[in-house]
Amino acid sequence: MKKIKGLIFLLLITLTVGLKAEEVAALSTPLTKKVNDYYVSIGVMSIGELKSNFPRAYKLLVKHHGEPGKRDTHHVAVSIWKQENGEFKYISNVKVEAEVRSQLMRAVRKELGKYPHQYGDNFGAWFDMSDKGLYHITVVIHEDGKKRVVDFDYLMQ
């Protein structure tokens, strides 16, 4: 199950970029949403899974975000793109924040660091998601004095 979850994490971030608008609509998952003209995807993976199954990716994330804190258990990744001239383009000239709220109503809000990805930049940070249950993840995109907000629910099993 953990390997499947890891593959889904990586595939969601990479596969959606080359798709046409109608294919994105067909992909329709709870981890990809459209806000105005932007598509936003999130991925959540435990630090342990990253270290053991994707060591190169873990090293890249440490390089760009620093070492995870003592209480950090997961990496939250955000991809943002839009359709332009029939193609999808990653958005990287924005400031992105994420607030992760546990079912116990504990919330942590962080500015997400940018890191390179195969098709463009992604954003991410380390978070404590050690509690089991439903998490609410709010992604806030700041661009030219405007704010775009998109909400996701993520079940930690």
pLDDT digits (tens, 9 = 90+) for 69-99: 999 999 999 999 988 888 888 999 999 999 9
Predicted model pTM: 0.80
C-alpha dist (Å) from residue 48 to 54, 110, 141, 153, 157: 10, 21, 28, 22, 15
Handedness of CA 108, 50, 42, 129 (dihedral sign): negative
Q: Tell whether the model's pLDDT for residue 110 goes beyond 50.
A: yes
pLDDT digits (tens, 9 = 90+) for 45-75: 999 999 999 999 999 999 999 999 999 999 9
